[in-house]
Amino acid sequence: MTDLVVTGGTVVTAEGSLQADVGVTEGRISAVGSNLPRDAATETIDATGLLVLPGCVDVHTHIRLPSEEEPDRFYQDSVAAALGGTTTFLAFNNPGTGISDEGSRSLLAGLREFRARTEGESAVDFGLSAVISGRQDDPIAELPELIASGVPTAKAFMVYDFRLTDERLFAALQAMGRHGGMLQVHCENATVIDALTAEALAHGNVACRHHALTRPTYAEAEATHRAIALARAADASVYIVHLSCADALAEVATAKARGWPVYAETCPHYLTLTDDRYAAPDEAEVIKSVISPPLRTDADRQSLWLGLARGGLDLVATDHVPDRLAVEKRVPAPPFPQISNGAPGIETLLSVVYSEGVARSLISVERMVDLLSTTPAGLFGLPSKGAIEVGRDADLVLFDPAASRSIRQADLHHTSDFTPYEGRAVAGDVLQTLVRGRPAGERIGVFVERRLA
Ligand SMILES: [Zn+2]
């Protein structure tokens, strides 16, 4: 029998919206339609006037592992995800997330450690995406077993001191292609950025805003082009993380037009914030926006919305980094190359994309569901997630499109101590999130092993 029926809402899928009830049996969607069977034990949730959305699938987060000092750090950010409308996330276990030295030196040791330390620590379902670094002993040899263990995606960097050389990047792409994986690549040209950084430091330009000034769009576009070329040569797909500017988008759009398996994500901050934040007189303000790639111009921002609407970009993910003004982003800040990169966003993904995209008619609500749920689930090997469809997990978000509120740190649950969207008025609000048919909040999330289609 049906355990739960969500009645009277507008069910949104990537293909269309319809007035329908959603039946849930044993955590899965068992029916979508009208007059669904129910008995005395069937619970009902009235969603009249609400959108019923599939939970968001956030494929790019840097949630911190639980530690003795901060035992609830992972759980708390997973609660924030749930309350914001995200029912599945993928986390990277890169250094800085609390992974041990041993776990960061080997992909398989890193997977074992991640699974052991996150067991029973999440309010929503989650998976791991590994990080391939230049400091690991032999990551490429470990890839087949990693992929077979349910982690078919990994991120590699073209910049930073743990970057891969082009030769290693090519080998990683090739190994991923051969064994059914997909490499995610952070595309920035290290030679350009290192030279501009050295020049800035030589002139005493150490302030936060020089972080952005030393990471131009052409450095991102060139590296994006190169990653695509290497993937082409390796006969592999490639996934460009956190694409931030029009020039890099043009590279992806060209590759897609040629029919190459090239995918790209952008992030809410590139869709809503611009480089005028670096002009703030107060370092304590500027340091909040020390992220890589940095915030770009308003023209770039607008081009990303066009990319989402037209298909040059495949999805939106947060790149959530729960840095705190009181810890990692304290002022007075060290010279900009030593500042921790990143900003929080796990709890505000749906709110920001709905309000800035759907409410402003830049994308349809169906396209939003595709970008936040269906495509990330499909691309990252989560066939039970990402859509309201019989047989899939009942990961549902009840969303009130008529609500309006302002985003405030004081109302958020993430483990950061600020939000880049402080005071921003947003249309719409998440009223309730269900994880496999159960109200989100408890430690009911499980590690999901993934296989790419
Ligand atoms: Zn990231």
Q: What is the DSSP string of 172-189?
A: HHHHHHHHT-EEEEE---
Are 272 and 289 within 8 A, CB to CB? Answer: no
Rounded to the nearest whole angstrom, what is the distance from the C-alpha of residue 319 to the centroid of ligand 1?
Answer: 5
The single-letter code of the amino acid at 154 is: A
Say whether 405 sits in a helix, a strand or coil: strand
Rounded to the nearest whole angstrom, what is the distance from the C-alpha of residue 62 to the centroid of ligand 1?
Answer: 6
Rounded to the nearest whole angstrom, what is the distance from the C-alpha of residue 431 to the centroid of ligand 1?
Answer: 28
Rounded to the nearest whole angstrom, what is the distance from the C-alpha of residue 291 to the centroid of ligand 1?
Answer: 9
Rounded to the nearest whole angstrom, what is the distance from the C-alpha of residue 185 to the centroid of ligand 1?
Answer: 10
Cα–Cα–Cα angle for 20, 21, 24, rounded to 5 degrees: 140
Rounded to the nearest whole angstrom, what is the distance from the C-alpha of residue 183 to the centroid of ligand 1?
Answer: 13
Q: Cα-flanking dihedrals φ and ψ of residue 423, to 5°?
A: 85, -5
Enumerate the H helices of 123-208 as residue ranges: 139-148, 166-179, 190-202
Residue 280: which of 348, 361, 212, 195 has the closest Cα? Answer: 212
Rounded to the nearest whole angstrom, what is the distance from the C-alpha of residue 320 to the centroid of ligand 1?
Answer: 7
Rounded to the nearest whole angstrom, what is the distance from the C-alpha of residue 92 to the centroid of ligand 1?
Answer: 8
Rounded to the nearest whole angstrom, what is the distance from the C-alpha of residue 53 to the centroid of ligand 1?
Answer: 26
Query: 392 is written with which tokens?
Result: 């899939």
Q: Cα-flanking dihedrals φ and ψ of residue 370, to 5°?
A: -60, -45
CA distance 379 to 385: 11
Rounded to the nearest whole angstrom, what is the distance from the C-alpha of residue 292 to the centroid of ligand 1?
Answer: 8
Rounded to the nearest whole angstrom, what is the distance from the C-alpha of residue 50 to the centroid of ligand 1?
Answer: 33
Radius of gyration of the chain (CA): 21
Give the number of residues written for the chain: 453
The single-letter code of the amino acid at 179 is: H
Rounded to the nearest whole angstrom, what is the distance from the C-alpha of residue 64 to the centroid of ligand 1?
Answer: 12
Rounded to the nearest whole angstrom, what is the distance from the C-alpha of residue 186 to the centroid of ligand 1?
Answer: 8
Rounded to the nearest whole angstrom, what is the distance from the C-alpha of residue 60 to the centroid of ligand 1?
Answer: 6
Rounded to the nearest whole angstrom, what is the distance from the C-alpha of residue 35 to the centroid of ligand 1?
Answer: 45
Rounded to the nearest whole angstrom, what is the distance from the C-alpha of residue 286 to the centroid of ligand 1?
Answer: 19
| Other CB atoms within 10 Å distance of the CB of residue 402 | 9
Are 153 and 218 within 8 A, CB to CB? Answer: no
Rounded to the nearest whole angstrom, what is the distance from the C-alpha of residue 8 to the centroid of ligand 1?
Answer: 38
DSSP letter, residue 355: I
Give the dihedral sign, CA 41/9/56/386. positive
Are 291 and 266 within 8 A, CB to CB? Answer: no
What are the distances in angstroms from CA 214 to CA 81, 166, 187, 329?
A: 32, 21, 15, 19
CA distance 180 to 159: 25
Rounded to the nearest whole angstrom, what is the distance from the C-alpha of residue 73 to the centroid of ligand 1?
Answer: 18
pLDDT at position 1 is 80
CA distance 155 to 4: 39
Rounded to the nearest whole angstrom, what is the distance from the C-alpha of residue 59 to the centroid of ligand 1?
Answer: 10
Bond from prior residue into 268 cis (ω within 30 degrees of 0): no
Counting as low any pLDDT under 50, the low residues of the chain are none
CA distance 261 to 263: 7
Rounded to the nearest whole angstrom, what is the distance from the C-alpha of residue 130 to the centroid of ligand 1?
Answer: 11
Rounded to the nearest whole angstrom, what is the distance from the C-alpha of residue 432 to the centroid of ligand 1?
Answer: 28
Burial 157-182 (b: 16+ CB within 10 A, else e): bbbeebbbeeebbbbbbbbbbeeebb
Give the dihedral sign, CA 416/418/420/426. positive
| Other CB atoms within 10 Å distance of the CB of residue 403 | 14
CA distance 320 to 90: 11
| Other CB atoms within 10 Å distance of the CB of residue 408 | 12
Rounded to the nearest whole angstrom, what is the distance from the C-alpha of residue 241 to the centroid of ligand 1?
Answer: 7
Rounded to the nearest whole angstrom, what is the distance from the C-alpha of residue 61 to the centroid of ligand 1?
Answer: 6
* Strand-pair partners of 127: 90
Rounded to the nearest whole angstrom, what is the distance from the C-alpha of residue 80 to the centroid of ligand 1?
Answer: 18
What are the distances in angstroms from CA 287 to CA 161, 273, 300, 349?
A: 21, 14, 21, 21
Are 393 and 4 within 8 A, CB to CB? Answer: no
